[in-house]
Structure formats: C-alpha cells, structure tokens
Structure 1
Amino acid sequence: MHFCHSSDIWSEFPELSAGVLHVNGIHREVSVANHVAEFEAMAQARLADSAEGELLEIQAWRRAFSRMGLKPTQYRSASEALLRRFRKEGTLPRIHPLIDLCNAASLAFAVPIAVFDLARVAGHLEVRRAAGDEIYMTFAGEIEHPEPQEVIFADAEQRAHARRWTNRQSGHSAVRDETGSVLIVAEALHASAAADVERLTDALDAAIRATWSIEPRSAILSRSVPQFDC
C-alpha cells in the first residue's frame, strides 16, 4: 500500500508540503487529554491575536479552493472549519482518542489533517483529480459522486475517501472503535509549509508514541519525494 499525490497536483500546487504517518496498534482505551489540552492552548493563543481567516495557513487554502473553482467561504478546509467551531464553542466534541488528538493538532497548527482506517482503503491512496464516477459515502451513509476534475483522495477501487481535497472526508474509512491501522495525512500550502508540517508531524509522532507505546512510520512528502510506502 502506498500514498501519493498525482503529478498533476504537484504541477498545480508546487508549494504543497505533506506530512504522513502510518500507525499500527491504535485502540481507544487510552487518554489523550493532556496532549489535546496542550494543542488547544496553542490554538487559543493564536486565535486571541487573529481570527482563523487571517491566519496564513488558512489563507493559503482559501486561495487553493478559489483556484479549484470553489467558493472558499462555502467550502472550507477541515482546519478552518475546526478553528471556526473551536472559536465559537471553546471546545470540540470528543470522538475517538486518535481523532481528538489529530483535531487538536489541526487547531494548533491551522493545518488540515486527515485520518484513514487502512482496513477500509483498497490498494493505495492517491490525491488526484476525479473522473466523476468514483464512489463517495457520506457520514450519514449516502452515496455521492465527485464532480469531474474535483480533487479527491482515491483508492484502487475508485472509491473517494475525501472530497474537495481537504474539505470533507468519507464515512467509509472513518476511524471506528475497531480501527487498528491508520494513515494520517497533514497538508499545507503556505510559505513556511515545509517547516510547519515537519513540526506538526513530529508533534503527532511524539504524542502517539507516548500514548499508545507504539512507533509510527513517518515522512515528509514534496515534489521531489512524492510517495510514501506503508
């Protein structure tokens, strides 16, 4: 199994930096409260000075969505959506320790993070333009088809595991109680993306090691290193 971005994506978005972690041995019988609190404190400090829409990380994704023909205030990156909710409510719902950890890290770094249950991914996972016949399942169980040329996360069976790039994941490969093996992907496009994604990946790696006593495999992808083999 491998993860990659298509050559077209790298050509259109050469500023992209992606951090990837492959983690085996996840379970929900742990507490991530301390790590979540630390990440949320980082987010609160940033939001005290600037609204989420003023953050360079969020502005870069808004520009990318505009380039993809999407209204950036209608379709927001996952990190912007989380920051908006966190600013308004002061907290996020607790779902699963790994998701709670990744959501909190996404708040802290203002970078979208996707988490996929690898048992539900066929063959490989590629960020690419959609043909339009791929299958996407919402969290409510409804089936959709992405628009042609929409940026999606697609596997070998033509299933879309995320729509509009960093806008919305699929319910099909969402983390569940029985999930044991995951792929975590963090992507950024702003000027200091390479350094910030590396810091984010290292922070998640350390938190996962401390919480689950397991050793993730990680990598930073770029146009010159475009693929991660699990």
Structure 2
Amino acid sequence: MVFPDSLIPSNEKARLQALAPFRVLQALPDVVFDALVELVALLFNAPVAMLSFVDADVVWMKALYGLSEPRRVPRDQSLCSVTILQDTTTVVQNLNEVVLPTPIADLLNEMLQLHFYVGHPLQMPGGYNIGVLGIAGRNARLFDEAQQQRLSSLASVAMQLLQLRLALPQCRENPSPVWTFFYDELVQCIAQLEPDSLDTASRLQAIDQIIALLQRDLDRANATLP
C-alpha cells in the first residue's frame, strides 16, 4: 500500500459541508451505533470495529467496539483519513509490512498494538466520503473481495442509519419508536450469532441475511418520514 502525500481530498470544502449536520451526534451516546459496530466485529470475527467521522482536524468515533479509547484522534494519526480518499475498501492485511507515516505508526503500533485494518468510506449523496466503517485487529489476516463487498454494503447501511438518526427526534429520554426498533433488531442479530461455529460460507450467508433485513427495515422507516 502506498500512502498519499496529502490526506486532504480535492473536494474537502464540500465534503466538510456534507459532514456538518452530523456533528450534532458527537455529544449524543447512541446504543444503536454501539450495537452496529459490535455486530460488524462479530460478523467479521474482528476484535475491534469503529464508526468514525473524519472532520477538518480530527477523526472522532461515533461508536467504538473492542477499545475504550481513543474517541478522538488527530487526523494525521488515523488510517480513516486515508480511507476516505478513495471510494473502495482500504485493506491493510499486515501493518508491519507497510511503511506507515510516523504519526499513524505511533498510534497503531505503539499505543494500540494493532496490525490489521480494513475500512470502507461512509459516502454521502454527491460522492462525499465523510467517515468510515472499519475493523481492526492485533494479528495480520486476509480480507478477501467477498468480505470487502459485504463491508461495503454494511457501510451503506450505516450511512443510511446515520441519515435516519438526523431525521428523527433527538430526545435521549424518550427515543423514537423507530430508533428503538432498530436497536432491538441489532441486539437480536447479535444474540442469534454464533460466530465461532461459522465457516466462511456460512459467515458470508449470515452477513447477507442481516444486510437484507436491515435494508428492508430502513426502506420501510424512510417511507414513513414526512
């Protein structure tokens, strides 16, 4: 993997404008997104999963599974900043075999001791990549094209959930029934998974079934919005 000279995309100004409405979500803990990243980690048998936004100077985590920190990272220290520069999945199967920019290497290798990373951009209409759905781990591993396609589909689901969240009332004490429904559904998906017993084909089939279920319910929820 060759790292770019700059982490700033050519459409940066418009990209930040597309990201701006989502900044309100920084201060609001959300069990739906917590459950989503836990589910993604289980589906791909990864110890770490994250849902992040790449802002002007910082990458902030909307949801993080498998690590308690960091919730905010300087932009030049995060592989998520590299991921948003392309529309395809970024795969680093062994971080020890690539030459990382020093700020990224210091965070991943020394602080977090992570050696595997995969991320897919959260893409807004218009092609603006505002964040990342990703997984990581402490051991090098393969992540093939079939898995990349599933992560791409889950990133699309995550982006739709984020847009739906903005469209629903932001009252933590009395959450929308629609939002409660999605939380219950994600928790049920997690409870029904037995990831250690799944072979590769069964795991991909389980991912496809969950994607289809969530997409169906997102379509139904969006149809009820004014």
- Normalising by structure 2, report the TM-score: 0.30
Q: Which has the higher strand share?
A: 1
- Normalising by structure 1, report the TM-score: 0.30
